[in-house]
Amino acid sequence: NNYFKIAVLPGDGIGPEVVSESMKVLEAVEEVFHCRFQFSYGLMGAEAIFKTGDPLPEETLKICKDSDAVLFGAIGDPVFDNNPEAKVRPEQGLLKLRKELGLYANIRPLKTYASLIDKSPLKREIIEGTDIQIFRELVSGIYFGEKFTDPDGKYAYDVCKYSTEDIIPIAHMAFKEAEKRKKKLTLIDKANVLDTSRLWRKTCQKIAIQYPDVQLDYIFVDNAAMQLVLNPKQFDVILTENMFGDIISDEASVIGGSIGLLPSASIGEENALFEPIHGSYPQAKGKGVANPVASILSTAMMLDYLELTEAADKLRRAVEHAIENRYVTVDLNSEQHYSTSEVGSFIADYI
């Protein structure tokens, strides 16, 4: 199969700019690797609220369900961030999309780039050689449990619920990845306090029997938040629940000093979505300063998912080539820098 339907959700802020560089790169891939991408656009986020009143219009959902993969930019707009009372919010669109597409595993690879290591807030000797793969459960836990605020505004609650069925698929995915890497899997939880964490531990312990080569470690989330800064190299593959994953993966993303480079994949049984981990940076919108690399590397993860492995590898080499040659946006080099679209074209040309 060399024909793929790609749903494109540019979203808010710098989302459209970086996604359009990904599409430029995919057009180069089409030429060289003899495949075809058919793009269908969908509205999502603040953009969608402004135009339709709905952060995830039915049509967008349909386009995504019909696609082989979803390319997503970013969501979020200060109009909503500064108004906690807003009833309709961009984030609802993203959460609903994750749930509807069953994207149960959010995967974030974290690497340091030799030429960028000095941009990190952490010391070189602490981070050099860090190579972590985070698996965050994405469609259960406190994000999707029952929520309630009493009408008088006197109390509220959020329920964190997990069943073994929510845990098993992503645990297998993480164990399989650990088998391919250093055979070390770390489960982050709070099993000294939470029943759901103890369920995660027991479930993972059982699954571990099927992966005798992989060493399964546990670490409490508070300690993990410390260890990621003290000694990130101790981690290889990390597995964790939704809320802890949100916090820990964002914390980990600053290690390399180059958040503008970090991609992510959200994978389900039948669908998959690829997005840079950075946000919508409304301040940078339309200025041509956004770094397209995170979106382009997310596109490489998409190519892997579509089993276009050669193209994915080529794309990653193209990105490394650009970084090594300091052909980068202003976030990575304030002296000599190129625009979003120049960096995208440089990478596309290399392909």
Would you name the residues annotated as active-site residues?
A: 143, 190, 222, 246, 250
Q: Tell me which residue of 102, 135, 100, 94 sits closest to 270, measured CA to CA.
A: 102
Q: Does 154 bind a copy of itself (CB under 8 A)?
A: yes
Site string for ligand IPM, 238-277 (x = CB under 6 A): --------x-------------------------------
Dihedral sign, CA of 253, 256, 260, 263?
A: negative
136 is in an annotated binding site: yes
How far is the C-alpha of 289 from the C-alpha of 340, rounded, in Å? 6
226 binds ligand IPM (CB under 6 A): no
**Does residue 304 bind ligand IPM (CB under 6 A)?**
no
Q: Give residues 190-219 in contact with a copy of itself (rule: CB under 8 A).
A: 190-196, 198-199, 201-202, 218
Residue 250 assigned to a binding site? yes
User: ∠ CA 9-11-13 to the nearest 5 degrees?
Assistant: 150
State the Cα–Cα distance between residues 45 and 271, nearest whole angstrom. Answer: 19
317 is an annotated ligand-binding site residue: no
CA neighbor of 70 nearest in space, from 271, 258, 224: 271
Q: Residues 201, 215: contact at Cβ < 8 Å?
A: no
* 221-230 helix and 242-253 helix, angle to the nearest 10 degrees: 10
Q: Which does 122 bind (CB under 5 to 8 A by kind): ligand IPM, a copy of itself, none?
A: a copy of itself
Q: Which does 243 bind (CB under 5 to 8 A by kind): ligand IPM, a copy of itself, none?
A: a copy of itself
d(CA 193, CA 207): 22
100 binds ligand IPM (CB under 6 A): no
173 binds a copy of itself (CB under 8 A): no
Instruction: Tell which residue, 255, 258, 224, has the closest CA to residue 125.
Output: 255
**Cβ proximity to a copy of itself, 231 vs 325, nearer residue:** 231
For residue 55, what are its two tokens? 């952060």
Of 138, 194, 189, which Cα lies nearest the Cα of 166?
138
Question: Does 54 count as an annotated binding residue?
Answer: no
Yes or no: say if 187 and 240 are a contact pair by the CB < 8 Å rule: yes
Nearer to a copy of itself, 279 or 288 (CB): 279
- 124 labelled ligand-binding: no
Phi/psi-derived region of residue 53, left when phi > 0, alpha when psi is between -120 and 50, beta in every other case: left
Size of the site for a copy of itself (CB under 8 A): 59
Residue 222 binds ligand IPM, judged by CB under 6 A: yes
Q: Which is nearer to ligand IPM, 91 or 251 (CB)?
A: 91
* Residue 145 touches which of a copy of itself, ligand IPM, none (Cβ within 5-8 Å per kind): a copy of itself
Helices 293-305 and 340-350: crossing angle in degrees, nearest 10, is: 40
Residue 243 within binding range of a copy of itself, rule CB under 8 A:
yes
Q: Is 195 known as a binding-site position? A: no
**Sheet containing strand 131-137, strands side by side:** 36-41, 3-11, 69-74, 272-276, 263-267, 105-111, 131-137, 237-240, 184-189, 215-220
Name the binder of 50 from ligand IPM, a copy of itself, none, CB < 5-8 A by kind: none
Residues lying near a copy of itself in the complex (CB under 8 A):
84, 89, 91, 95, 121-123, 126, 142-143, 145, 147-149, 153-164, 190-196, 198-199, 201-202, 218, 221-223, 225-226, 228-231, 243-244, 246-251, 253-255, 259
Residues lying near ligand IPM in the complex (CB under 6 A):
91, 94-95, 192-193, 222, 246
Instruction: Give the annotated binding-site residues for substrate.
Output: 98, 108, 136, 222
Instruction: Give the annotated binding-site residues for Mg(2+).
Output: 222, 246, 250
